[in-house]
Structure 1
Amino acid sequence: MKLTLNWWNSTQYKGIAMGLTSLLLLVLAIKKAATAPFTHDESYTYLNFTHNSFIDVISLKDSFTNNHLLNTLLIKYTETIFGNSEIALRSPNILAFGLFLFFLYKMAQKSSTITSMSLLIITGCCIPLFDIFTLARGYGLSIAFMVGSFYFMLQYLTESKKKFLYAYHILALLGVLSNFTVLIFYSSSLPLSVLFQVLKNDQKITKIDLLGAMKAHFIPLIISFVFLYEPIRRVKGQSFDFGGKESFFNTTLPSFFSPFFHGTNIGFDPQVATSVLVISILAISSYQIIRNQLKQPIDELTISTSLLLTMMLAIIAQHKILGTDYPIGRFALFLFPLFVLQIFFLLQSYKDRKTFKGLSLIFVGVACFGLLNFSSQLSFKYHQEWKYDMHTPLMLEALNTDRKQNAEPQQMVRLGVDWYFEPSINYYRKRNNLTWLHPVTRDRISKDFDYLYFHFEGNDQLKTNQYRVVSDFFETKTRLIKVLDE
């Protein structure tokens, strides 16, 4: 039995188990990226920003929440090489997903196979997080780079090698350029990396040691500042809407773990439950750090706890001083993997105690729940937040069939839509070279159009004798109609 357990927990077997699981997740992500229709936000980015010049993109000439700088550049050059199919434009985020899973594996190497696999499943099988890696948006890129930056931060504070320091800065920079909310991570982790570098060698903080630690960061920090000056200026200008208008505890705090419960009915308020969980985990972690401070050097738990607490203070300060919103929803999703890693590091701090097996079983149970939730909610037909876009390609096929049967083949078609359908329809108009379709606008739908596409619930602007139903799409409660001549 002992030999079996040693084999189960061997580095080689752990690598195989996590590698195969990661490969399966990547295959699922590729399938979804290839089959799920392009969404409103992806289409808006593609149509409005990716065809700008390189200089206009990197200078952020068009500052808007949909314009994630690095993502825009990658879409721009991916289209040049591979075309503008869904899978081609989403491929940078698929690669980022692989990078994300790789860094999770690296941080789980010292743990047992069962807890390492649980870490991978809890994070990789979280539907909101999985979905963003199958979208042509900056969120997946930013989270992958941020987790990689955090890994190299831990490595630098352990081994003090310059290559880890530079990797930390480079990946943090790429993360911020992918999504500006990661600036919260960068600005919080930087002073901590300086502080812990000093404390690692001496319990006392001296001016000489502090200046020496800061000097090591000087060159990469200057380079980062050159690239990040514009994003910082934009945030100061309150150009970005991150969603949260209420207090930090009602908006951002639940986002640390609420994505895990997405789409589930757990019998209690997930917002309250996750808030209590976050506060409890951080409190227990702080107690563990204080209890062990004289027994062991600075470890992953100390660093991750300090990082999350500093990020919380940074988010609150940013709102109070700069007036920016509290991150919520997908804007706060970058907090989720950091918090799961926090739980993982807390669990590892108990590995030499009798309670470790019981705590590990709880962690495994959470992973099993996450896996069941993932398998029940995973859909290759749509992305959760943009489900209304799932029938756009089918609607255009129905429209094309109907206009061929009931109109002159050369006649241009004017399609009126609810405004949120406009970007994705125009993407497919370009993607499929629908030369017979006029560019769709956000003008109010009326009988002046040839066809209308809208949500049919509560929409009775036209009398039944003014149109003919072409097709109904019941999953999205949308309808395509032909406007009849008077």
Structure 2
Amino acid sequence: MEHLPITPPEGQRLAARTTILCCAVVLLCYSVVRAITVSFTWDESWSFLHYVIPRVYFQNAFDAMGANHHMLNVWGMIAASHLFGNSELSLRLPNLLAHAVFLYATARIALRSPYYIVSITAFLVLNLDPYLLDFFSLARGYGLAIGWMMLSLWMFTRYFTEGRQLKWLALAMLTAALSALSNLIMINYLLALATAFAALWGMDTLRGQGTSKRHLGVVAAGTALGLAATLPSAIALSQGGSLFFGCGSIWDCALNSLAEKLMYLVHYGWPARSILLVFFAFAVVCVTAVVFSAWRGRWMKELQVMLFGACVTGACIAFNMLQHVLFDTPFPKDRTALYLVPLILFVPVSGLVAWPRGSFTPGALGTVLALPLLLHMARSANLTHCVEWKPEGEVSKMLALISHDHLPLGKDRPVVSLSTSFESWGCLPYYQVRDNMQWLMATPREYPKPFATADYYIVESDGQDQVDPLNWELLYHSAATGTDLYRDKRMRALHRKAERIVLDMEAPDVIGRSNEQHVSGRFSVRFDAATRSTNRIYWVVPDTIPAGMVLIYGTGSTLQPEANNWIALVLRVARGQQELAMSNMGPTLEARYPGQWAKLAVSLVPMVDLLPGDTVQMSAWPMFDLNVMYLDDMVLSVIH
């Protein structure tokens, strides 16, 4: 029985191309808009501060945060920063380009089908994943890795279907190596490709149908190139304890975490893991139907791409399990397992698009696969947040409100204080540095402790029980993220009287006085291995001040050569020998402006009324003696 050729009629081909192009444009526009509207996340902010600003092209610190250096993403962010500035859209541009690559590759894969409906549904199956789309609008390595992965699968598709030309094999291995450079988890994908290709090449050779050894050599060379560029860093990160993110079990953690994020926290009445398993089970049904039909119709040779995809998927999972057994490497968790989803779906999709003309079955199977994804995408699409870092999705909007709402700054009120939930605090440094917000002093809440008293509060869902409805005014409610911005009415009333005490750097008795660097005057304090502290500032509460709320600020200017050391300002309130309150700040913005003078600030609102004779003390301490640092303009302000 001969099957009809796979080439579709020209009319259907044009209709499929037009429809897929329209879908691709919509999806790419969705990512571009999200790249503008969704706030920078904690991990993006970390990469910007520690890798992009200091131009760290190769990881040099293999600590707990070392794995945050996604090499190709960092290179792209640095290039975008240099060319287009430091806006969210600019820094996320590399992953937007990766989305365009992903859309191109999936469109070419889908358009192999002779059926209009199969081409459309195959494209939708590979693309309609809100969790996957999140990472194409973030400055992280996951989107880049998956984009290059899908392009490599398209190159392998061309290799197997267009006469096994060596150029497609070389391009496939090059793009796979770029995927590994984008995220180290993709080393498994690179190894899986080599393993699957070697297995199929060996089987073909045994049947006398194998290609020349040059093809195997190209795969070996591509794998060696990718490993040479990534494996040393992966080993160093593993030894440094950086690769701790993951799961200890497949069923209860790895699969659960991935399923919950794929469901985008949308509840359908079933456990997320059960829904995912049902969906994957139907994908297996599709593969089974393809194999059965190919066996009956004698077109099994058309399934080489599907077989290769299945081998790669199985090898990826096997390598993860092997690493866990041999090296105690955690199983992938949520975002580190995300690449497996389009890889798994590539298997049924490549089978359906290979189905020759003359049957309605592939269209029906593709529709059943795509329909739930389309409905889920409709419920999950948004322009406010990504599910992985949901609470901070609209923090940029809240910071803009604070910028326009805060009281005028001056000598008596030098900074604006912000007390924030922990997740939201992590993304703030990017905006503080980008917009030169040295006047904003942010303090994270230490759960389950209450929020430190401040001018403003960013409160996530887990902190709503700490809201003070009598004294806090709601400025903005983010219904999408569950995070709110409040203003403290009491702090706006504290402007009646201010005491200001300055440490005179010109005085000869100042410990560590130096004329090497200064902001004002001729001297500053020089901290080094010999000088580990300087004079403290004291203010004693006079008997002329009535009891009531007091706001204490400590400010200074600091200069440090590198970001690995900082100065901490400490405020203490004492009554005799008893300490009533204490606050310290470090590292803060001074650790993000290495090589230039930056503002340093700390605030304190004692929870008890101060009495005459109580003492307020301000001190400054260098964290380490690694290098020389300078402190100037040390001022204590008390507003009452």
Alignment TM class, shorter chain as reference: 0.7 to 0.9
2:401 to 394, 398, 403: 398
| Residues 67 and 237 in structure 2, CA contact (< 8 A), matched pair in contact too | no
Q: 1:318 to 1:279 in 2, by over 3 A?
A: farther
What TM-score do the two structures reach when normalised by structure 1? 0.85
Post-superposition CA distance 1:158-207 (Å, at most 9, x none): 4332322221221111111111111121111112112323434552699x
Q: 1:161 aligns with which of 152, 161, 165?
A: 165
Which is bigger in relative contact order (C-alpha 8 A, separation at least 6)?
Answer: 1
Note if contact 1:50-1:76 (Cα within 8 Å) is conserved in structure 2: yes
Aligned counterpart, 1:423: 426
Task: Name the counterpart of 1:382.
Answer: 385
Give me the whole-angstrom Cα distance separating, in 1, the residues matched to 2:368 and 2:223: 42
State yes or no: 1:413 paired with 2:416.
yes
- Matching residue's letter, 1:370: L
- For 2:151 and 2:191, the matched residues in 1 are separated by 16
Larger deviation, residues 223-232 vs 446-455 = 446-455
Q: Distance in 2 between matches of 1:312 and 1:255?
A: 16
**Could you say if the C-alpha distance between residues 424 and 216 of structure 1 is closer, same or farther in structure 2, counting changes exceeding 3 Å?**
closer
Q: What per-residue deviation string (whole Å, max 9, x for no partner) do you get for residues 220-269 of structure 1? A: 333223212224414653531342222x2444457887766444444433
Separation of aligned partners in 1, 2:257 and 2:353:
24
Residue number in structure 2 paired with 1:226 = 228
Match of 2:25 among 23, 26, 36: 23
Aligned equivalents of 2:462, 2:251: Cα separation in 1? 35
1:135-154 equivalences under 5 Å are: 135-154=138-157
In 2, are the aligned partners of 1:256 and 1:274 still within 8 Å (CA)? no
| Paired-residue identity, % | 20
Q: Give the deviation of 1:271 after TM superposition.
A: 1.0
2: CA distance, partners of 1:332 / 1:326: 8
Deviation at 1:95, TM superposition (A): 0.8
Q: Is contact 2:419-2:457 (8 Å) kept?
A: yes
Quote the residue 2:219 is aligned against. Answer: 217
Instruction: Give the 3-state SS of the residue equivalent to 2:440 in structure 1.
Output: coil
- Size of the aligned set, in residue pairs, is 473
Amino acid at match of 1:178: S
TM-aligned CA deviation for residue 447 of structure 1: 4.4
Match of 1:332 among 337, 361, 367: 337
Once residues 249 and 15 of structure 1 are traced to their aligned partners in structure 2, the CA distance between those partners, rounded to angstroms, is: 40
Larger deviation: 455-464 or 302-311?
A: 455-464
Tell me, in whole angstroms, the C-alpha distance in 2 between the residues paired with 1:79 and 1:68.
Answer: 16
Look up the match of 2:121: 118
CA contact (8 A) 2:146 2:339 kept: yes
Q: Is the 8 A contact 2:194 2:220 kept in 1?
A: no
Structure 1 gap segments, 5+ residues each: none
- Cα gap change, 1:406/1:226 in structure 2, threshold over 3 Å: closer, same or farther? closer
| Range with greater deviation from structure 2 (88-97 or 38-47) | 38-47
Structure 1 residues 216, 411: closer, same or farther in 2, change over 3 A? closer
Q: Which residue of 2 aligns with 1:84?
A: 86
Describe the SS at the equivalent of 1:343. Answer: helix
The SS at the match of 1:84 is: coil
Q: Which residue of 2 aligns with 1:480?
A: 486
Would the alpha carbon gap of residues 258 and 213 (structure 1) be closer, same or farther in structure 2, given more than 3 Å must change? farther
Deviation of 1:113 (Å): 2.1
Alignment correspondent of 1:454: 459
Report the Cα distance in structure 2 between the residues aligned to 1:446 and 1:127, rounded to whole angstroms: 33
**Distance in 2 separating the partners of 1:150 and 1:184:** 15
Give CA-to-partner distance per residue, 1:265-306, whole Å, 9 cap, x none: 444333134335535645874796598498643611211122
Mapped contact 1:398–1:470 kept (Cα < 8 A): no
**Cα distance between partner residues in 1 of 2:123 and 2:363:** 14
Q: Output the CA distance in 2 between the equivalents of 1:397 and 1:98.
A: 31
Q: Which stretch of the first structure deviates more once superposed, 14-23 or 269-278?
A: 269-278
Letter in 2 for 1:336: V
- Aligned CA RMSD, in angstroms, stands at 3.4
* More divergent stretch after superposition (304-313 vs 267-276): 267-276
Label 1:275 to 1:136 Cα distance change in 2 as closer, same or farther (>3 A): same
Range with greater deviation from structure 2 (441-450 or 227-236): 441-450
What is the alpha-carbon distance in structure 2 between the residues aligned to residue 407 and residue 52 of structure 1?
Answer: 31
- 2:328 matched to which residue of 1? 323
Deviations 1:441-475 (A, max 9, x none): 5474764655443337556669777x543635253
Q: How does 1:44-443 map to 2 (within 5 A)?
A: 44-55=46-57, 57=58, 64-111=66-113, 112-158=115-161, 159-200=163-204, 202-203=206-207, 213-234=215-236, 236-237=238-239, 239-246=242-249, 248-253=250-255, 261-278=263-280, 281-282=283-284, 285=287, 292=295, 296-297=300-301, 299-348=304-353, 351=356, 356-404=359-407, 411-438=414-441, 440-442=442-444
CA–CA separation in structure 1 for the residues paired with 2:463 and 2:221:
59
- Cα contact 1:195–1:210 (8 A) shared by 2: no
Once the two structures are overlaid, the 10-residue window that deviates more, 60-69 or 209-218, is 209-218
User: What TM-score, normalized by structure 2, do the two folds share?
Assistant: 0.66
What SS does structure 1 have at the residue aligned with 2:475?
Answer: strand
CA distance in 2, matches of 1:115, 1:254: 30
User: How far does residue 93 in structure 1 lie from its aligned partner after superposition?
Assistant: 0.8
SS of alignment partner, residue 434 of structure 1: coil
Partner amino acid, structure 2, of 1:127: P
CA distance in 2: counterparts of 1:230 and 1:20, whole angstroms: 43
> 2: CA distance between counterparts of 1:40 and 1:336?
24
Cα gap change, 1:267 to 1:442, in 2 (>3 Å): closer
How far apart are the structure 1 equivalents of 2:273 and 2:361? 26
CA distance in 2 between partners of 1:416 and 1:232 (Å): 37
- Secondary structure in structure 2 of the residue aligned to 1:327: coil
| Alpha-carbon offset, residue 477 of structure 1 | 3.9
Structure 1 residues 24, 280: CA separation in 2 closer, same or farther (over 3 Å shift)? closer
- Distance (whole Å) between structure 1 residues aligned to residue 257 and residue 348 of structure 2: 15
1:455/1:479 contact within 8 Å kept: no
